[in-house]
Structure 1
Amino acid sequence: MLKAVGQVLFSSGLQTPKFTAEKSKGQDYEVRTYHATNWVSTTIEGMQQDVKVEMTAPVSCLVNPGAGPACETSFTVSFFIPEEHQADPPRPTDLENIFVENRKQFTAYVRTYGGFSNEQKSREELLRLVESLQRDGAPYKETPYYIAGYDSPFKLTNRTNEVWILKKEDGE
């Protein structure tokens, strides 16, 4: 059921990273293994070669919470690089603040939710996902985690957002 819903939700015409859906114990989340892909991370101010890169989805944000109350949380915002540029990504012009990230294959538990997202909403959805994983005895990493958004800020209805928690693999 979730796979069919996902196909409808992600049929926005934008390129998205490829993943393989796996069977999950719960009906309130998915298990996805994302293929290795390149992403451009931080902020986009320009690219060399004057290459126009089409919009893709999702925009992901890696959240790495600080170790204690006085520690800062770090956020890495990333944009999926379209398939036609995966093998040879355009090189960022601002090498101090922008970098091409090669994400290895990873498996994540994914909870999808609608509406406009904000810090409170994504935190609530993250906690719901954690509760589901604990209920099902699923092995997961507590940190870091991802927040993903699929829509332009100008899209007002049928919005798609996700929280991703990384699966803990054997030996981790």
Structure 2
Amino acid sequence: MAVQEFYNHFCFLCRWLFQYIQGANLNFSRIAMTAPVLTSIVPGAGPLHSSAYFIRFYLPVKFQASPPLPLPELNLKPYVWDSHCIAVRKFSGFARDSNIVEEAEKLGISLSRSPWANSTSSASGYAYSIAQYSSPFRIIGRVNEVWVDINASELDGCKLSGVAAY
């Protein structure tokens, strides 16, 4: 998929999520936008072996127990995230094709030199995820992260909890 096609498709998916939080759900609830917006990359799962991706955002605590159901035409699926641990690399600026792969590679290099060198997990099916914390209107001081799942069941410091997302 070409960069412009990816961007157009990405923006289309964001519009569905935006409609959902603006009340396009079965009980017409407006949902406060949360951060981060998470884009998970699945290499080779798209057409002609291109990458596919999933876009999610966390539901506020108010909606965790009973998320509003989206209108059927939005074709959004709820996702309850099982407890897991992640390795994170923070980066600034806008998250674009030109820098997210580079940041994911830098995280991979850091992990290869750490005690977690052989602890990456493919259980989620994602190669990595990009967490974007800043509003699209913020130009300076943007905060992003690249995440990779790690198999940390035997590691100390990984507190597990479930989170609902769309």
Normalised by the size of structure 1, how large is the TM-score?
A: 0.69
Question: Going by fraction, where is helix more abundant, 1 or 2?
Answer: 2
Shift of 1:55: 1.1
SS in 1 for 2:89: strand
Confirm or deny that 1:140 pairs with 2:140.
no
Alignment-derived partner of residue 151 in structure 1: 134
Structure 2 letter corresponding to 1:160 = V
Alignment partners' CA distance in 2, 1:62 and 1:154: 22
Deviates more, 1:95-104 or 1:70-79: 95-104
Displacement of 1:136: 1.1
Give the number of the structure whose residues are more often strand, by fraction. Answer: 1
2:92 aligned partner: 114
User: SS at 1:48's partner residue?
Assistant: coil
Q: For residues 111-168 of structure 1, what are the alpha-carbon distances to aligned partners after superposition, in whole Å with 9 as ceiling and x for unaligned?
A: 0111111012111110000000001141113651111101111011111001000002
Q: Distance in 1 between matches of 2:91 and 2:84?
A: 21
Shift of 1:107: 0.3
Q: Given residue 123 of structure 1, which amino acid in structure 2 is its aligned partner?
A: V
| TM-superposed deviation, 1:48 | 1.5
Q: Give the counterpart letter for 1:72 in structure 2.
A: S
Secondary structure of residue in 1 paired with 2:88: strand
Take 1:170 and 1:50, find their aligned partners in 2: how far apart are those partners? 40
Counterpart of 1:56? 34
Paired positions, count: 131
Deviating beyond 4 angstroms after TM superposition, the runs of 4 or more aligned structure 1 residues are none
Find the counterpart in structure 1 of residue 109 from structure 2. 131
Deviation at 1:96, TM superposition (A): 6.3
Q: Where do 5+ consecutive residues of structure 1 fail to align?
A: 1-40
Structure 1 residues 149, 167: CA separation in 2 closer, same or farther (over 3 Å shift)?
same
Matched residue, 2:64: 86
Gaps of 5+ in 2: 1-12, 155-166
SS of 1:99's partner is coil
Q: CA RMSD in A?
A: 2.5
Shift of 1:170: 6.1
TM-score when normalising by structure 2:
0.71
Aligned-partner SS, 1:147 = strand
- Worse overlay, 150-159 or 137-146: 137-146
Q: What amino acid sits opposite 2:121 in the alignment?
A: K
Return the structure number with greater relative CO, CA threshold 8 A, min gap 6: 2
> Relative to structure 1, is the Cα distance of residues 170 and 88 closer, same or farther in structure 2, using a 3 angstrom cutoff?
closer
